[in-house]
Amino acid sequence: MDGVGEWTTTSYGTGKDNRISILNEIKFPHSLGLLYSAITYYTGFKVNSGEYKVMGLAPYGEPKYVNTILDNLIDIKEDGSYKINLEYFDYIGGSRMTNRKFDSLFGGPPRKPETKLTQKEMDLARSIQEVIEIAMLKMSVHIHKVTGMDSLCLSGGVALNCVANGRILREGPFRNIWIQPASGDAGSALGAALITHFHVNNAPRKGTDFKRLQKASYLGPDYSEFEIQSFLTKNNIPYTKLKKPEVAAKTAKVLANEKVVGWFQGKMEFGPRSLGARSILGDPRSRNMQSIMNLKIKFRESFRPFAPSVLREDVSKYFELNSDSPYMLIVAPVRKSIRKKMTPDQEKLFGIEKLNVVRSTLPSITHVDYSARIQTVAKEDHPVFYSLLSAFKKLTKCSVLVNTSFNVRGEPIVCTPEDAYRCFMRTDMDYLVMENFMLDKTQQKKLENDSDWRKEFELD
């Protein structure tokens, strides 16, 4: 399921041996992804990147527009197939996603980017999220009935909707779910290689251990100790060189002191999520960490949630989940045992007022609806990141860290040591740990002749 690429926007089929057979498909201009993008546009966010914001904003709103959307914009059948009412949209030949009829339906023009968010945008976000979940759940039930299969693989940009993925896992009929971590357009490169390998060259399949085959998505470049030290020395950057066994313990100690750490280890992640190779990390027990990281590190909207990384063996201690989520693509509820009950006054809060209410013993990763977007970390996937979580657990009895992508708003995730250092210096991060080199912000000199990143990168 995606927005648009080729003519097909939604399809399903079966994989057997080394062949995929497509059983049914829906074609452009009918598209779940474009419907979601239309609401993204109307609520004032950037299409093809702001959809994450709409998903993050949804829990602040009420589903008051669900019937309006179902009655006017999309007709969803019992099997999950659907048709878009094109009278309300301008994405086929125009320069906008929506038109005046759409504006009239929702009582005014689109919100201008960067202006104040109102309850209307929050309610629209919640409503379109619920509509997408309705369609995806109906599809999953139908596909299971038609194919009789127990395992479901998801891909396409809509499959990055981790809230809907969590619902399919909890409420849908499939025993196993696997989501391609580079589900957006980046995954097309992988798909082209695989279909050539299997369909054209008729190569045999080597099992179904996707995590091992895809190396847990750590497929990008890495940098040696020599390369990192050469960069630091050449640029007269102060650092401390640690022995490799010291890295986890020393980093855990600064994290436990509510410091924010840029973490640069091993091969870069493939896909849109930082998974502990190019990450910004913080202490989830801190009630201030979400606002600090949003406003002083990422320079983005305060409502946007942060994800937890947790030791795989401990995931069910904190979350209502007992399965792998290595790619941060499944949302699950926080366990009731660590939730904090809201006071009667807090229960009355509406919209963005809910933001500052502490909802659990891990407030920095608990969203306003008591959910979290989870990354499970296994030792075989990323031994260094696993060792850091283990060291933090030993120190604090908490095996969870706040994990967000190593970049500022609008910037791609950092790749090289130079990228990492520049981002570190442009933000209020306290430490940068690149392999076994630790940099303390208080020892650094200001960047010379540095451009304003807000002009360098178009805001998302």
| Percent of the chain that is helix, strand, coil (3-state, to 5) | 40, 20, 40
Provide the terminal-to-terminal Cα distance of the chain, rounded to the nearest Å.
22
CA atoms within 13 A on the CB side of 416: 7
* pLDDT for residue 340: 85
- Calculate the average pLDDT of the chain: 91
Contact 58, 368 (CB under 8 A): no
pLDDT tens, position by position, 129-142: 999 999 999 999 99
As a whole number, mean pLDDT of residues 283-299 equals: 82
Q: Tens digits of per-residue pLDDT, 220-247? A: 999 999 999 999 999 999 999 999 999 9
Instruction: Spell out the residues 6+ positions from residue 387 whose beta carbon is closer than 8 angstroms to its own.
Output: 247, 248
Predicted TM-score of the model (pTM): 0.90
Measured between alpha carbons, how far is residue 336 from residues 43, 351, 377 in Å? 33, 23, 22
pLDDT digits 0-9 by tens, 398-412: 999 999 999 987 789
pLDDT digits (tens, 9 = 90+) for 439-453: 999 999 987 776 665
pLDDT at res. 210: 76
Angle at 274 between CA 271 and CA 280, to 5 degrees: 155
> What is the structure's pLDDT at 136?
97
Which residues neighbour 156 within 8 Å (Cβ) at sequence distance 6 or greater? Answer: 1, 2, 10, 33, 183, 184
Contacts with 356 (C-beta within 8 Å, 6 or more apart), sequence order: none
pLDDT > 70: what percent of the chain? 94
Task: Answer whether the bond into residue 29 is a cis peptide, omega within 30°.
Answer: yes
Residue 460: pLDDT over 60 = no
pLDDT of residue 241: 97
Q: For position 459, what pLDDT does the model report?
A: 59
pLDDT band at 302 (very low <50, low <70, confident <90, very high): low
* pLDDT tens-digit map of 168-219: 999 999 999 999 998 888 888 889 999 999 999 999 998 877 777 888 899 9
Q: What is the pLDDT of residue 453?
A: 56
Give the count of beta carbons closer than 10 Å to the beta carbon of residue 9. 26
* Contact call for residues 410 and 49 (beta carbons, < 8 A): no
Element (H, E) at 313: none
Report the DSSP pairing between strands 437-440 and 240-241: antiparallel
Q: What is the pLDDT of residue 405?
A: 92
Residue 339 per-residue DSSP state: B
In order of their start, the domains of the chain are 8-148 (3.30.420.40), 217-456 (3.90.870.20)
Q: How far, rounded to the nearest angstrom, does the alpha carbon of residue 392 sit from its chain's CA centroid? A: 23
Which one-letter amino acid corresponds to residue 139?
Answer: M
Higher pLDDT, 306 or 25: 25
Q: Is a pLDDT exceeding 70 seen at residue 300?
A: no
Chain-centroid distance of CA 243 in Å reads: 33
| φ and ψ of 408, to 5 deg | -100, 165
Task: Tell me the per-residue pLDDT of 335-378, one tens digit each, with 9 for 90 and over.
Answer: 999 988 877 777 776 666 666 777 799 998 998 889 999 999 99
Give per-residue pLDDT as tens, 50-109: 898 899 899 989 999 999 999 999 999 999 999 999 999 999 887 789 999 999 999 999
Angle at alpha carbon of residue 156, lines to 366 and 9, rounded to 5°? 130
Phi/psi of residue 370, each to 5°? 65, 35
Q: Which pLDDT score, from 0 to 100, does residue 450 have?
A: 67
Residue 251 neighbours by CB distance under 10 Å: 25
The model's pLDDT over 407-433, given as tens digits with 9 standing for 90+, comes to 987 789 999 999 999 999 999 999 999
Pairing of strands 19-27, 8-16: antiparallel
